[in-house]
Structure 1
Amino acid sequence: MEQPPVTMNRIPILDLGPEMNQLKPQLMRAVEDVLDTGTFIMGEQVKQFEREAAEYLGVEHAVALNSGTDALVLALLSSGIGPGDEVITTPFTFFATAEAISQVGAVPVFADVEATTFNLDLDQAAELVTAKTKAIIPVHLFGHPVDMDGVLELADRHGLYVAEDTAQAFGAEYKGRRAGTIGDFGCFSFFPSKNLGAFGDGGMITTNNAVFAERAAMLRTHGSKKKYMNELVGFNSRLDELQAAMLRVKLPYIDQWNEGRRAAADRYRALLGGAQGIVLPAEADYAGHVYHQFTIRVLDGRRDELKAKLEGKGISTMVYYPVPVHRLPVYRYLGFSLPVSERLASEVLSIPIGPMIDPAVQELVADSIIEALR
Structure 2
Amino acid sequence: MNPILNLERVTVEFVRQRAVGRPRQVLHAVNEVDLEIAPGEAVGLVGESGSGKSTVARAITGLNPVTSGAIGVDGNSVLRAKGKDLRMLRRRFQMVFQDPYSSLDPSMSIGSTLTESLTVHGLERGPAAVERAADMLLAVGLRSADLAKYPHEFSGGQRQRIAIARALMTDPDLIILDEAVSALDVSTRAQVLDLLQGLRRDRRLAYLFIGHDLAVVQRMSDRIAVMYLGRIVEVGPADDVIRNPQHPYTASLLASVPQVGSRGAERAAELRRRLHVRADPPDPWNPPSGCAFATRCPFVMEMCRAETPPAVEIASEAVSRCHLATDAGRGTESEARWDRAREFLAMPSPAS
Sort the TM-score into its range (normalised by shorter chain): under 0.3
Structure having the larger proportion of residues in strand? 2
Larger Cα-atom Rg = 2
Q: What TM-score results when the alignment is normalised by the length of structure 1? A: 0.25
Q: What TM-score results when the alignment is normalised by the length of structure 2? A: 0.27
